Amino acid sequence: MMKKTLTTMAISAFALTFAGQAVAETWNVSLWGKRRAFTEHVEKLGELISAKTNGDFKLNISYGGLSKNRENLDGISIGAFEMAQFCAGYHRDKNPSITVLELPFLGVGSLEDEIKVSKAIYAHPATIKDLARWNATLLMPSPLPQYNIAGLGDAPKTLADFKGLTVRAVGGVGAALSKLGAVPTSVTSSEARQALDGGVVKSVAFAPHAHLSFGTIEPSKWWTENLNPGTVNCPVVVNTDALNGLSADHKAALLGSVDESLDYYVEFYNGKTMDAWWAKLEANGIERISYSDEALAAFRKAAAKPAADEWIKSNTDRGLPGQELYDLVISTLAN
């Protein structure tokens, strides 16, 4: 009888141990580069999820070890990992709905604005359907300030000086700069410093954190502090099957941590990142190029409406509600 009782207790203990292991879960997350302001919301998300689930749900964050940045959406589609970050401009045909957020001169004035307008587009049925082709669910944006350009050689003191300037720029930023006669090249962020050092480009369009993280500010001699042609949209997505397979508690921990992670991101970027940026410009003696209001107004007139009209037409032709998505951006920002 004693032997039977001990056997029963051992089986029960094993079952409890196995059950504990069964509820524990780790998601692989594919990022690139290194930890920086651009990834702080993902890092914070991992901390919050682990704390809320007593360590039963964790994020295993990889910086380039799981996939190349241009292939993260493909990896999500086949379930190679459960979460990833990518930029819409890297593969516009794969995610046309969210490229509306990369149009130039939309009037985004802050990171908070970028979050609001991104969430509005991410929640639109056409966007949800678009990303569903990749078995992907949009989780949260990676809000970025307006891009500006750092470069070598003669500084473009006027907008006319951009004619013939080779520049690393993707998405709507590249399209806008081409209106000035610049020559955009869409190398990835990880390749930008190499392209600058090798003479493939003479300048790079980035948000401040990326100029710092990828070292493009180090050899640069000048920076356009108020050109502000636009930005890129880089969402964090999850594999839809993995999301649907979470327990109710784990799903609540994930979705319930998004806003807090974004709040942390904004505070980090506006504080620590921008403090480091201004200090770097000063320490490196970077010339800050500022353009007149009249010149910028002419740039906006030349680039904004043509780019929007072209985007609306091309995406309407492919079956998206192009005008509706564009109007949603404008109305969200206006409100």
Mean pLDDT over each residue of the chain, to the nearest integer: 92
Summarize pLDDT for 123-142 with one digit per residue, the tens.
999 999 999 999 999 999 99
* 130 within 8 A of 97, measured Cβ to Cβ: yes
Structural domains in the chain, CATH included, are: 24-142+233-273 (3.40.190.170)
Summarize pLDDT for 152-164 with one digit per residue, the tens.
999 999 999 999 9
* 315 within 8 A of 96, measured Cβ to Cβ: yes
pLDDT surpasses 70 at 11? no
pLDDT surpasses 50 at 304? yes
pLDDT surpasses 90 at 328? yes
Q: Sort strands 25-31 and 83-85 into parallel, antiparallel or unpaired.
A: parallel
* 53 within 8 A of 249, measured Cβ to Cβ: yes
Q: How far is CA 235 from the centre of its chain?
A: 5
Q: What percent of the chain has pLDDT over 70?
A: 93
Q: Three-state SS across the chain?
A: CHHHHHHHHHHHHHHHHHHHHHHCEEEEEEECCCCCHHHHHHHHHHHHHHHHCCCCEEEEEEECCCCCHHHHHHHHHCCCCCEEECCHHHCCCCCHHHHHHHCCCCCCCCHHHHHHHHHHHHCCHHHHHHHHCCCEEEEECCCCCCCEEEECCCCCCCHHHHCCCEEECCHHHHHHHHCCCCEEECCCHHHHHHHHHCCCCCEEEECHHHHHHCCCCCCCCEEECCCCCCCCCCCEEEEHHHHHCCCHHHHHHHHCCHHHHHHHHHHHHHHHHHHHHHHHHHHHCCEEECCCHHHHHHHHHHHHHHHHHHHHHHHHHCCCCHHHHHHHHHHHHHC
Q: Which amino acid is at 77?
A: S
pTM (predicted TM-score): 0.86
Out of 15-24, 42-51, 271-280, which region has the weakest mean confidence (pLDDT)?
Answer: 15-24
* 270 within 8 A of 111, measured Cβ to Cβ: yes
Average pLDDT over residues 205-231: 94
20 pLDDT tier (thresholds 50, 70, 90)? very low
335 pLDDT tier (thresholds 50, 70, 90)? confident
pLDDT surpasses 90 at 9? no
